[in-house]
Every structure is written in C-alpha cells, then in structure tokens.
Amino acid sequence: MAATRAYLDYNASAPLIAEARAAMVAALDAANPSSVHTEGRASRRLVEDARRDVARLVNARPEHVVFTSGATEAASTLLTPDWQMGRGAVRMSHLYVSAADHPCILGGGRFAAAQVTRIGVDRNGIADLEALSAALAAHDKAAGLPLVAIHAANNETGVIQPVGRIGEIVKAAGGVLVVDAVQAAGRIPLDMSGSYADYLILSSHKVGGPKGVGAIIAASDLMMPRPLVNGGGQEKGHRAGTENVAGIAGFGAAARVALAGLAEMEAIARRRDEIEAIVTELAPDAEIFGNAAPRLANTTFLAIPGVKAETAQIAFDLAGVALSAGSACSSGKVGPSHVLKAMGRGDSLGALRVSIGRATGAGDIEVFRAALAGIVARRAGKEEAA
C-alpha cells in the first residue's frame, strides 16, 4: 500500500470538514430539542440555527427545511402517491424519473413498479425533454397528478440537467417536480426562490458534513408528502423521531462552508481539467463521458479501453488513490454502470469516477498521475504479450 494517499472520491463522500466536526462535538451532550426546559431550548437553538444555514445554501425559507436521516430517506418520503394539502389529500398517480437517476430515485420510493416511467437520456446523459413532454401530455390527470423526479447533477458523470427547462415542462403539465440536488449542492448555485423545483433533496456528507443526515427542502409548505416515519410531532409532523442534534449541527456548519466555497469552483474546475489532461496524455484512447455537456467542476467519469474498471480501481487503491468504479452505492456490484447503459454506452468495460474537492492539491494529482502511468504501462505489457 502506498505511503502517500490521494482521496479523489468526493462524490461518494466529502471528508468531514473541521467546522462540522467542531459543531458536532459541541452538540454531543445536547438535550432533547423537544424539551421545554433551558437545556432543551438550547438544543432547539442548535437545530434551528442549522436549519437556517441549510436553507441559505439553496436560498430557501428555514421553515421549509425538514431534516431526515439522509438523502435516501428524503427520496423515499417524497416519492409517494399520497400527499397532504391542509386537511385534504392529494394523489400523485404516476412517477416519471430519468433513466440515469441515482438508485434511490430509480427505485420509485412508495410507488408500485407499474406506476413508474423512466425517461431516456442522450449520449451525454441529458434527459430527453421531448420524451418527458410527451409522457406528461399523455398522463391521465383524472387519476391524479404527475410527479417528476430527476437529479440536478449526475453522481457518476457530473452532468448537469437543465432543471429550469424541466421545471417549465412539469409546471405546464400541472405536475410536481422533485430535484435530487445531492451532488449539486455546494458545487453549483441553487436557488429555491427562482427555481421551478417544488422540492429538493440534500445530503450532509456530500458537502463535508457527517453521514446519516439529509434534508427535504420545499418551495412551500402548502403541500407535503404523507410521512414515511410516523410517531411524534418532530419536524412539524413531517418526520417523526428525536432530531439528531449533533449530526444536524454538523450539517449546518458544512452548509455554511459550502455556500462560501462556491467561489472556489473555478479553481476546482482547473484541477479537474489538469486531471483530464493527464488522462489524455497517458491514455490518448481514453473516453471521458459527458464532457460535451455542462458538468460539475469536480467530476470526471472515464473509461480506458482494455482496462476493466474494477481491476483499475484496485490498482489505483494499491498505488495510493481512492476513487470509485462508478457510484459508491453500487461499486461493489459487478456489471456495467446503469448511467452508461442509459447513455447508450453499455458495451464499456466500466468506468472510473474521479471526484475532487477544495482540499485536493497538486500532490494528490501527482499521486494520480503516477498510479495511472503504472496502469497504462501494464496494459501495454499485456498487449505486447498477446
């Protein structure tokens, strides 16, 4: 194992930042925030301060933030046929998702499989807007409203979806739009006040906060999904269970830093471009997926002909580089990336995802260069032996 390691897997989980760690430690002894005594009120202030910080990250109202145990729970809560508007019920009769969405969206939440339609993407991973428009035009409104869920930025390729245009299409069809902003938050500006999204999904550990905390952010509290977790009245009845005060405090601290860090995205993009230049130099036949479309500044998804992604991932790890063969949520499974398959690239041997962050430096990039050089050299040796 290499003595010097480079962590290039921020899309799987960003390292816990110092500010989030300090906020968590300070909150570990916090009382139950539902208690009315002095200690309980102090704990409640920690939760509400964090709620404001998370809201600011996407320019939303704090009272429209609902904390969850993570993005998967948030998705499972939102992706349901059963919604509430005041004391009345609202029915979502069908769910429309992108074929390149994260598995927590593709799974359809509480919808039956027959109630879920997958919308295709082009070779760069951009959703087929004509297909979406046609599907929504054919939707039977008598049965209920259409619910559309899509990622703002893809977790594997980093490709950014035209959420504004998608929102216009959904609103014209009388539908509701849920946007998975897990990878986008802290990497591109998000503005609930000017967005067509009705609901956003966020995850703490993608922005440098702790794992096990996420959020639903609503444009309005006029209509909300039927709760997934029932019990007490926490989170205004939208998510029962005593709040994870330490985790929420860490999330809030990370959100503050992430908002300020948006100014650093151009510098991060230059480091990504440097990594891609190294790939092109050492493996000219490598393919970088989605690079013809708008992408996150920190993400490169690449394949090298003749090099199996899972094998390369192990080789990189042994050489001191932490990265993923596709999504970390599915990288332990053998098989092609569902994102590549949706993009019409299912014949690939798989792809490697390099994702960086503010702490990625020149030394990390040099470790990556040395590791890739070794992998390419071994490929050349095998070709000569054959």
pLDDT band at 221 (very low <50, low <70, confident <90, very high): confident
Alpha-carbon distance 273 to 275, whole Å?
5
**pLDDT for 379:** 83
How many Å apart are CA 218 and CA 61, to the nearest integer? 8
Mean pLDDT lowest among 90-94, 324-328, 333-337, 348-352: 333-337
| Predicted local confidence at residue 272, as pLDDT | 98
Query: Is residue 330 over pLDDT 60?
Result: no
pLDDT of 326 above 70: no
Band of pLDDT at residue 347, cut at 50, 70 and 90: low
Distance of CA 337 to CAs 156, 299, 305, Å?
Answer: 9, 16, 15
Confidence of residue 334 (pLDDT cuts 50, 70, 90): very low
Q: Specify the pLDDT at position 196.
A: 78
Name the region of 229 (left: φ>0; alpha: ψ -120 to 50; beta: rest). beta
Q: What is the mean pLDDT of the chain?
A: 94
CA-to-CA distance for 324 and 13, rounded, in angstroms?
11
pLDDT band at 335 (very low <50, low <70, confident <90, very high): low
Share of the chain above pLDDT 70, in %: 95
Q: Which domains does the chain have, with CATH numbers?
A: 6-15+264-384 (3.90.1150.10), 18-260 (3.40.640.10)
Closest listed residue to residue 94, CA positions, set 67, 70, 118, 76? 118
Number of Cβ within 10 Å of residue 274's Cβ equals: 15
pLDDT of residue 331: 46
Q: 82 by DSSP, 3-state: which? A: strand
Predicted confidence at residue 332, as pLDDT, reads 52
Share of the chain above pLDDT 90, in %: 90
Q: What are phi and psi of 93, to 5 degrees?
A: -90, -15
Q: Is 104 a catalytic residue?
A: no
d(CA 44, CA 242): 11
pLDDT in tens, 248-295: 999 999 999 999 999 999 999 999 999 999 999 999 999 999 999 999
The per-residue pLDDT for range 362-383, each reduced to its tens digit, is 999 999 999 999 999 988 777 6
- pLDDT (tens digit per residue) in 32-76: 999 999 999 999 999 999 999 999 999 999 999 999 999 999 999
- Comparing 194 with 214, the larger pLDDT belongs to 214
Which position among 329, 349, 370, 373 bears the catalytic label? Answer: 329
